[in-house]
């Protein structure tokens, strides 16, 4: 299976490198001062947008896939986002509970699925802050369906494009109205030869890794939307802030902070 390569400009490479350098040297979130926390969240938000943009710029390309059940990953992402959202007074209601065994094995791109789902959750919560967002997982013939409903219209062009790319890659489908979006992941009979088996992270794994999409794509962006004045605060400098930086791509560094979720 071929991997699509996009041509990266020197500016794009510099932005990724600056974000990576920032996260490698930043103190753990639980040990940060309020000023450091503001900068950290702004850089997380920048990382999340870089990841979104990278996916959209490579839309339609072949990507390396793994073999596994998407349901445990989706359930872990939803539960982790639910915990982070609760600390901002945002209810996310998930049905069924995460312990329910559903879904079936298929070919997956875990990172793309994670980014698309977290972006969708962020859009739903941002549309009607602190009003309930409902998420329902349901087995259907040939795959798994995920329905997200918010009190107000929430499907932005970017959100729709990300979910559309996700469903194309996972042999699924997409339908939506103003307040509800439903996407699905297909089911495959057996893994192709040589495909790696996927080990799904737990909810705690996702919360401990502060560079996971739950933090960068969901939490940092939703947190910023609740505090528009702080987004304009010049003291909140992103590692990618430069006069010439005009394109967005994702960095690849990883940071772990096991207690961050409970210290917000």
Query: What pLDDT does 97 receive?
Result: 59
pLDDT of residue 255: 42
In a domain, residue 126? The reply is yes
**Whole-angstrom distance, CA of residue 1 vs CA of residue 82:** 35
Is residue 16's pLDDT more than 60?
Answer: yes
Could you list the residue range(s) of the whole structural domain that residue 117 is in?
A: 16-234
- What CATH number is attached to the domain comprising 205? 3.30.565.10
Say if 166 falls within a structural domain. Answer: yes
Contact 133, 93 (CB under 8 A): yes
Report the pLDDT value the prediction gives residue 228, as an integer from 0 to 100.
58
Range from 53-67, 140-154, 204-218, 229-243 that averages highest in pLDDT? 204-218
User: Quick check: 174 and 181 in contact, CB under 8 A?
Assistant: yes
More confident residue, 236 or 171: 171
Q: Over pLDDT 90: what percentage of the chain? A: 64
User: 147: which strand partners?
Assistant: 136, 182
CA–CA gap between residue 146 and residue 184 (Å, rounded): 6
Residue 79: what pLDDT?
A: 96
Total domain count for the chain?
Answer: 1
Any domain includes 4: no
Residue at token pair 């945002």: 90
- In angstroms, the CA 156 to CA 159 distance is 5
- Tens of pLDDT along 23-39? 999 999 889 999 999 99
Is the pLDDT reported for residue 259 higher than 70?
no
The reply to whether 5 falls in a domain is no
More confident site: 6 or 119 = 119
Domain assignment present for residue 146? The answer is yes
pLDDT number for residue 254: 41
- Per the prediction, the chain carries an average pLDDT of 83
Residue 6 lies in a domain: no
- Check residue 143 and give its pLDDT: 85
Stretch 213-226: mean pLDDT: 96
4 vs 7, more confident: 7
Residue 3 inside a domain? The answer is: no
Residue 9, domain member (yes or no): no
Q: Cα Rg for the chain, rounded, in angstroms?
A: 18
Strand duo 133-140 + 92-95: pairing: parallel
């Amino acid at each position: 299976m071929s991997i699509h390569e996009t041509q990266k400009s020197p500016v794009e490479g510099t932005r990724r490198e600056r974000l990576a350098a920032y996260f490698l040297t930043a103190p753990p979130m639980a040990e940060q001062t309020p000023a450091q926390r503001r900068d950290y969240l702004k850089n997380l938000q920048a990382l999340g947008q870089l990841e979104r943009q990278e996916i959209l710029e490579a839309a339609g390309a072949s990507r390396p896939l793994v073999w596994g059940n998407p349901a445990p990953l989706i359930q872990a992402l939803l539960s982790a986002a639910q915990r982070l959202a609760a600390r901002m007074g945002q209810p996310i209601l998930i049905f069924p509970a995460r312990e329910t065994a559903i879904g079936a094995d298929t070919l997956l791109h875990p990172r793309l699925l994670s980014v698309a789902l977290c972006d969708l959750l962020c859009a739903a919560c941002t549309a009607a802050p602190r009003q309930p967002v409902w998420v329902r997982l349901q087995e259907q013939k040939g795959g798994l369906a995920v329905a997200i409903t918010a009190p107000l219209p929430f499907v932005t062009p970017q959100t729709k494009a990300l979910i559309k790319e996700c469903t194309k890659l996972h042999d699924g489908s997409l339908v939506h109205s103003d307040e509800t979006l439903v996407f699905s992941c297909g089911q495959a009979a057996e893994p192709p030869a040589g495909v790696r088996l996927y080990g799904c992270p737990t909810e705690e794994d996702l919360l401990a890794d502060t560079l996971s999409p739950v933090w960068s794509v969901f939490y940092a962006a939703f947190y910023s939307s609740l505090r528009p004045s702080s987004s304009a605060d010049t003291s909140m400098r992103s590692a990618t802030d430069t006069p010439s930086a005009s394109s967005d791509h994702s960095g690849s560094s990883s940071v772990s902070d096991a207690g961050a979720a409970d210290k917000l």
